[in-house]
């Protein structure tokens, strides 16, 4: 074996050279990998004893893409283009042997090879769009030449990889290898290809056509999904170029559009989120050698919407779940809804009937707390009442085995107070799921004053296993997400009294990139959450709407009127109520422009985020961004509220808050931490 460099090896046996990339964790195409692969291909190419070359990777995966950490830094030769060109032009037949994930630049490298073999579990894709990019090393030009323009469009704009079997059906993979015999298979494949006189097939020389109207139809069909994002459109333009331009020209188009995206804010935001997601899992200062607790059996208290949704996460991931509910009817209904949800998913073809039965088979429904005794983790998901929660935790303390983790799904309440009702506060934490809990990716893991490090780490690892993005939050009212939602809600409500209408506020927030505005959200959730006719004082706008049975989408009226298709129109009744409310409060209504709406709603959130950092209730600014991305629909292309603050400038945020401070001293007072960051002329992401 010859080491080409620290991350690539070359061996030759009986005329077949095996070039192995070994650059953990994911064999990303760093400068060293690029240099090694090109040198290896050239060396083997010149070796007269070599008849063919197999390109393979050590470790858990084939090349998973360009090295994202190198983006934005000066390029070190050779470029990925040059590497792929070198492979494609090699005088020796090159076969890519793929396992794990061939993604982005990794798949582009494989597309430069003359043939591709893969194990059935491998996945192949061009996920650049998720980073606000497009495949910039010939991927948009080669992929459609193999799978056709329509499939290529789908793959580059969704970024979703395809499995090796599907890839084989589409011609992207030439042969499937046995799961545990990839290299031997690839070597044999290469040997036979040479013996059979197979050509050195260059994808660049293949033709591609598109059916008429393909691109326009595709754009129209996906307009809503792509709203606000720059990358999908540029990806489409590249596939168009593949169809309408010769290969080299198409590659130039790709290069130009790639650079445009790469240097733009959107891609920077999306790359930031890629790393933020991975960073969020890490607990700073976690004692070395922390051993996580074993979680096999999970208990859930409460079979309502939350309890049911939380249970489904665990059942789907293969955990045994015991769900306990005091009311028999509610228990039956809850279990029925869970089955119904699974059945619906099965109807859509996303689950087999066996999987439905397997999941439901893992569930035990009970009315006895005692049945939770042997659980390794118990999550309480009853309604928000401190007294009830304390009673429940007191009982759990008596019943559940020592060493189990006791968690509350509270969205606002003080975890420390809840923990104090047990004799084991070190085992207590918050696990705040977002509704619908089986769908939403976010999980706020609330660290109490006494929560043990191994408890926290166990819950973080477990979250990943059930497909959640977990973010650690400290104990404070509303934790990270809901705490920051509060100022936005406050400003939205003030704005409509001062002169805007709900639909003005919603339009601005929607145009910013959120899926909906605060009033649309309120209508969707139901205006009567936490409201009752008996206690209504008829003072707030919400009281007045609920009293008129305008309770949101479910009653087909709330802030908006809704038709049977749930399409909304502004309500004249609401308009009148708002005008009256302003008059009663002696507020002289004025014209409020979009900029003011945006700044007051978003900058006050940023300010609260800064306060959260100042108080140490979040480990890092990027954790806050993850919360808003995965829990509240903050547009990914803006990178989350704290990253967004950096892009508009923290100084600017301070200035604008100060400008509004004349109207309210407290609501807009910049926090000390925001002031500090702004004064130092930096952003949140580059600090803390
Ligand atoms: C591209 O290719 C552009 C080209 O078209 C054009 C060029 C001219 N770079 O996710 P994990 C790190 S764009 C650098 O936890 P998993 C990651 O940060 C790229 N680092 O593992 C983490 O580090 P840490 C297109 C990377 O098993 C560690 O590896 N490719 C990269 O759950 C483990 O990652 C993509 O977008 C990278 N490309 O999932 C693929 N990838 O341990 C992006 C990962 O310090 N990657 N790291 O936190 C993935 O989707 C997943 O990482 C993968 C493995 C599925 C591969």
pLDDT tens-place string over residues 354-369: 999 999 999 999 999 9
C-alpha–C-alpha distance, residues 325 and 383, integer Å: 12
**For residue 29, what are its two tokens?**
């195409």
Distance 125 CA to ligand 1 centre (A): 13
> Which residue's C-alpha comes closest to atom 4 of ligand 1?
105
**For residue 686, what are its two tokens?**
């580059």
- 396-401 average pLDDT score: 97
> Which residue's C-alpha comes closest to atom 6 of ligand 1?
136
Q: How far is CA 335 from CA 324, 328, 360, 639, in A?
A: 11, 11, 9, 38
**For residue 340, what are its two tokens?**
């119904």
Phi-psi region of 549 (alpha: psi -120 to 50; beta: other; left: phi over 0): left
Distance 159 CA to ligand 1 centre (A): 13
Domains of the chain and any CATH numbers: 2-262 (3.90.226.10), 297-479 (3.40.50.720), 500-584 (1.10.1040.50), 594-686 (1.10.1040.50)
> Which residue's C-alpha comes closest to atom 28 of ligand 1?
25
- Let me know: does 157 contact 137? Beta carbons within 8 Å: no
Distance 127 CA to ligand 1 centre (A): 10
Label residue 686 by pLDDT band (50, 70, 90): low
> Which residue's C-alpha comes closest to atom 33 of ligand 1?
25
Mutate to test the pocket of ligand 1, among 7, 23, 25, 124 (most ligand atoms within 8 A of CB): 25
**For residue 76, what are its two tokens?**
């070190």
Which pTM does this prediction carry?
Answer: 0.94
Phi/psi at 432 (nearest 5 deg)? Answer: -95, 105
- 266-288 average pLDDT score: 96
Cα 72 → chain centroid: 23
Please give the number of the atom of ligand 1 that sits closest to the Cα of 279.
48
Distance 65 CA to ligand 1 centre (A): 7
Pocket lined around ligand 1, Cβ cut-off 6 Å: 25-26, 28, 61, 64-69, 80, 101, 103-105, 108, 127-128, 131, 133, 135-137, 139, 278
Phi-psi region of 640 (alpha: psi -120 to 50; beta: other; left: phi over 0): left
Please give the number of the atom of ligand 1 that sits closest to the Cα of 81.
8
C-alpha–C-alpha distance, residues 189 and 183, integer Å: 10
Mutate to test the pocket of ligand 1, among 29, 57, 65 (most ligand atoms within 8 A of CB): 65
Strand pairing partners for 13?
16
> Residue 530: its pLDDT value, please?
78
- Let me know: does 271 contact 68? Beta carbons within 8 Å: yes
Phi/psi at 520 (nearest 5 deg)? Answer: -65, -40
C-alpha–C-alpha distance, residues 336 and 326, integer Å: 16
Phi/psi at 103 (nearest 5 deg)? Answer: -120, 150
> Which residue's C-alpha comes closest to atom 53 of ligand 1?
64
The residues annotated with a catalytic role in the active site are 108, 128
User: For residues 688 and 559, which has the higher predicted lDDT (pLDDT)?
Assistant: 559
> Which residue's C-alpha comes closest to atom 18 of ligand 1?
275
- Determine whether 131 is exposed, middle or buried from the number of CB atoms within 10 Å of its CB (0-12, 13-18, 19+): buried
> Residue 317: its pLDDT value, please?
97
- b/e code 455-494 from CB counts within 10 Å (16+ = b): bbbbbbebbeebebbbbbbbbbebbbbbbbbebbbebbbe
Distance 57 CA to ligand 1 centre (A): 15
Find the angle CA(427)-CA(429)-CA(432) to the nearest 5 degrees: 150
> Which residue's C-alpha comes closest to atom 50 of ligand 1?
64
- 559-582 average pLDDT score: 95
Other Cβ atoms less than 10 A from the Cβ of 248: the count is: 9
> Residue 687: its pLDDT value, please?
46
Mutate to test the pocket of ligand 1, among 26, 30, 111 (most ligand atoms within 8 A of CB): 26
> Which residue's C-alpha comes closest to atom 46 of ligand 1?
64
> Which residue's C-alpha comes closest to atom 24 of ligand 1?
278
Distance 368 CA to ligand 1 centre (A): 46
**For residue 664, what are its two tokens?**
């309210």
Please give the number of the atom of ligand 1 that sits closest to the Cα of 108.
5
Mutate to test the pocket of ligand 1, among 64, 105, 142 (most ligand atoms within 8 A of CB): 64
Please give the number of the atom of ligand 1 that sits closest to the Cα of 139.
5
Find the angle CA(398)-CA(404)-CA(407) to the nearest 5 degrees: 85
Give the containing element (helix H, strand E) for 142: helix 139-147
- Determine whether 55 is exposed, middle or buried from the number of CB atoms within 10 Å of its CB (0-12, 13-18, 19+): buried
Q: Are strands 123-125 and 162-163 parallel, antiparallel or unpaired?
A: antiparallel
- Let me know: does 332 contact 480? Beta carbons within 8 Å: no
Q: How far is CA 351 from CA 204, 315, 336, 438, 543, in A?
A: 39, 13, 17, 14, 43
**For residue 167, what are its two tokens?**
């890839």
Find the angle CA(297)-CA(302)-CA(307) to the nearest 5 degrees: 70
Would you say residue 592 has pLDDT above 90? yes
Picking from 519, 593, 529, the residue whose alpha carbon sits closest to that of residue 559 is 519
- 633-637 average pLDDT score: 98
> Residue 395: its pLDDT value, please?
96
> Which residue's C-alpha comes closest to atom 7 of ligand 1?
136
Distance 573 CA to ligand 1 centre (A): 52
Would you say residue 511 has pLDDT above 90? yes
C-alpha–C-alpha distance, residues 189 and 187, integer Å: 5
Angle between helices 265-280 and 621-632 (to 10 degrees): 100
Distance 594 CA to ligand 1 centre (A): 38
Distance 277 CA to ligand 1 centre (A): 11
- Let me know: does 132 contact 637? Beta carbons within 8 Å: yes
DSSP state letters, 266-305: HHHHHHHHHHHHHHHT--TTPPTTPPPPP--EEEEE--SH
Cα 49 → chain centroid: 49
**For residue 592, what are its two tokens?**
């409020």
Would you say residue 688 has pLDDT above 50? no
The string of pLDDT tens digits covering residues 305-321 is 999 999 999 999 999 99
- 236-259 average pLDDT score: 97
Please give the number of the atom of ligand 1 that sits closest to the Cα of 281.
48
**In 22-138, beta strands by DSSP E:** 52-57, 93-98, 101-103, 115-118, 123-125
Please give the number of the atom of ligand 1 that sits closest to the Cα of 282.
48
Prior bond of 436 cis (ω within 30°): yes
> Residue 193: its pLDDT value, please?
97
> Residue 531: its pLDDT value, please?
81
Distance 23 CA to ligand 1 centre (A): 12
User: For residues 64 and 435, which has the higher predicted lDDT (pLDDT)?
Assistant: 64
Quote the mean pLDDT of the chain: 96
> Residue 72: its pLDDT value, please?
81
């Amino acid at each position: 074996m010859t080491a080409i460099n620290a991350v690539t090896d070359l061996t030759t046996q009986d005329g077949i050279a095996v070039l192995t990339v070994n650059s953990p964790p994911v064999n990303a195409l760093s400068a060293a990998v690029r240099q090694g692969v090109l040198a290896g291909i050239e060396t083997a190419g010149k070796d007269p004893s070599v008849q063919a070359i197999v390109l393979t990777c050590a470790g858990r995966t084939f090349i998973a893409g360009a090295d994202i950490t190198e983006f934005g830094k000066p390029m070190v030769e050779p470029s990925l283009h040059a590497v792929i060109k070198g492979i494609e032009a090699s005088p020796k037949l090159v076969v890519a042997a793929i396992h794990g994930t061939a993604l982005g630049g990794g798949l582009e490298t494989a597309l430069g090879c003359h043939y591709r073999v893969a194990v059935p579990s491998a996945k192949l894709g061009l996920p650049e769009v998720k980073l606000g990019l497009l495949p910039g090393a010939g991927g948009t030009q080669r992929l459609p030449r193999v799978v056709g323009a329509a499939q290529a469009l789908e793959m580059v704009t969704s970024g979703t990889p395809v499995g090796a079997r599907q890839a084989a059906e589409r011609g992207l993979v030439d042969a499937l290898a046995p799961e545990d015999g990839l290299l031997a298979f690839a070597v044999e494949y290469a040997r036979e290809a040479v013996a059979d006189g197979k050509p050195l097939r260059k994808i660049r020389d293949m033709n591609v056509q598109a059916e008429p109207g393909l691109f326009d139809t595709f754009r129209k069909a996906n307009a809503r999904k792509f709203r606000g994002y720059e990358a999908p459109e540029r990806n489409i333009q590249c596939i168009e170029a593949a169809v309408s331009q010769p290969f080299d020209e198409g590659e130039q188009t790709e290069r130009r559009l790639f650079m445009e995206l790469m240097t733009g804010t959107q891609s920077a935001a999306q790359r930031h989120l890629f790393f933020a997601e991975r960073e969020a899992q890490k607990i700073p200062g976690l004692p070395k050698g922390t051993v996580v607790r074993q979680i096999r059996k999970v208990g859930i208290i409460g079979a309502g919407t939350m309890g049911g949704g939380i249970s489904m996460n665990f059942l789907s991931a293969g955990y045994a779940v015991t769900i306990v509910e005091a009311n028999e009817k509610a228990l039956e209904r809850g279990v029925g809804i869970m089955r119904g949800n699974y059945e619906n998913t099965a109807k859509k073809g996303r689950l087999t009937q066996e999987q439905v039965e397997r999941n439901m088979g893992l569930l035990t429904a009970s009315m006895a707390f005692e049945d939770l005794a042997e659980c390794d983790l118990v999550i309480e998901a009853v309604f928000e009442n401190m007294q009830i929660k304390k009673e429940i935790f007191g009982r759990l303390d008596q019943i559940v085995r020592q060493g189990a983790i006791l968690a509350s799904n509270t969205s606002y309440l003080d975890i420390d107070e809840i923990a104090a009702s047990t004799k084991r506060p070190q085992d207590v934490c918050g696990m705040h799921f977002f509704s619908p809990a089986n769908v939403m990716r976010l999980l706020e893991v609330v660290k109490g004053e006494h929560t043990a490090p191994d408890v926290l780490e166990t819950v973080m690892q477990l979250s990943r296993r059930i497909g959640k993005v977990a973010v650690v939050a400290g104990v404070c009212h509303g934790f990270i997400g809901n705490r920051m939602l509060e100022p936005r809600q406050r400003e939205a409500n003030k704005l409509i009294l001062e002169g805007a209408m709900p639909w003005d506020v919603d339009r601005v927030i929607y145009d910013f990139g959120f899926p909906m505005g605060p009033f649309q959200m309120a209508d969707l959730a139901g205006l009567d959450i936490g409201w009752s006719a008996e206690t209504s004082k008829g003072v707030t706008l919400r009281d007045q709407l609920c009293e008129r049975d305008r309770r949101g989408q479910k009653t087909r009226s709330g802030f908006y009127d809704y038709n049977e298709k749930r399409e909304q129109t502004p309500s004249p009744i609401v308009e009148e109520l708002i005008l009256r409310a302003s008059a009663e409060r002696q507020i002289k209504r004025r014209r409020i422009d979009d900029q003011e709406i945006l700044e007051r709603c978003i900058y006050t959130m940023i300010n609260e985020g800064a306060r959260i950092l100042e108080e140490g209730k979040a480990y890092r600014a990027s954790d806050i961004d993850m919360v808003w991305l995965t829990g509240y629909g903050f547009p990914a292309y803006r990178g989350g509220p704290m990253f967004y603050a950096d892009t508009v400038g923290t100084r600017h945020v301070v200035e604008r808050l100060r400008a509004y401070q004349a109207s309210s001293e407290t609501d807009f007072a910049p926090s000390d931490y925001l002031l500090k960051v702004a004064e130092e002329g930096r952003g949140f992401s580059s600090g803390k």
